[in-house]
Amino acid sequence: MRLATWNVNSVRARTDRILDWLQRTDTDVLAMQETKCKDEQFPYERFEELGYRVAHVGLSQWNGVAIASRVGLDDVQIGFEDQPGFSKDPEVDPALEARAIGATCAGVRVWSLYVPNGRDLNDPHYTYKLDWLAKLRADAHAWATAAPGQPIALVGDWNVAPTDDDVWDPAFFEGKTHTSQPERDAFHAFADVGYTDVVRPYAPGPGVYTYWDYTQLRFPKKQGMRIDFVLGSPAFAARVTDAEIDRNERKGKGASDHAPVVVDLDL
């Protein structure tokens, strides 16, 4: 089975490109982030024409996550059990955002995740990000403990660069989000409960990235970040036979600012 994750940065703007990529790469399951549309705006029919079923959650023109699968799409769950919400106004109750969706595809439990950005180290969104990651870790630990034989994949845009090798210039990111120690600690804590980065052994760094900002010619200058990951439970990691970051998909007119991350599994 071929599983991929991709922050598509607007599914409606890139439908043709996404579907072409699915066909060319023979991908079975695609987790998408930043779909940037409401449920009723998602182009379901275009995916269904190619044999993919889609589960999507989108509440506005921001965020949005989806899973497209041609090998089954069962037990769909919107949001994880303890997923926190956010409100920039402390007097307004936090609201759940469209940042997590799970489904079982050919026996693999797949979670498409769009981790909060954090914005700034002094912003309430940063505290929200750390809380979001902590709650996800706790739930992911519970899932793996309850069903140790179940392959579980936590995939998506994590908005964390866990090591200095994952950014083009560590000094540039000092004092900013994505590379702060609390964020990195929150990411590495998933390894403490058994989830491993299954792509890195096949795409060693430094200089290997999944995201390049549209500005400042970051892509041609090779000034990127590795912030998109596939973290697998032991049962998932044991089945991985290959992985890659499809950097070429960041090229050309109309590209997302993220590249797809692909994993091959022997099921």
The answer to whether 248 is a known ligand-binding residue is no
Listed in sequence order, the DSSP H helices in the chain are 15-25, 44-48, 124-146, 181-192, 234-237
From residue 155, alpha-carbon distances to 41, 171, 218, 219, 229 in Å are 23, 28, 24, 23, 6
CA atoms within 13 A of residue 96's CA, in its CB half-sphere: 12
Closest CA to 71 of 20, 18, 30: 30
Q: Is 2 left (phi over 0), alpha (psi -120 to 50) or beta?
A: beta
Q: Are strands 152-157 and 108-114 parallel, antiparallel or unpaired?
A: parallel
The answer to whether 157 is a known ligand-binding residue is yes
Exposure string for 34-44, b = 16+ CB within 10 A, e = fewer:
bbbbebeebbb
The answer to whether 258 is a known ligand-binding residue is yes
Please tell me what DSSP assigns to residue 211: B
Q: Is 26 left (phi over 0), alpha (psi -120 to 50) or beta?
A: left
- Sign of the alpha-carbon dihedral angle for 29, 33, 39, 40: negative
The answer to whether 97 is a known ligand-binding residue is no
Active site residues: 114, 157, 258
Look up residue 45 and give its two tokens: 């029919």
Task: Determine the 3-state secondary structure of 261 from DSSP.
Answer: strand
The annotation places the binding site at: 7, 34, 157, 159, 257-258
The annotation places the binding site for Mg(2+) at: 7, 34, 157, 159, 257-258
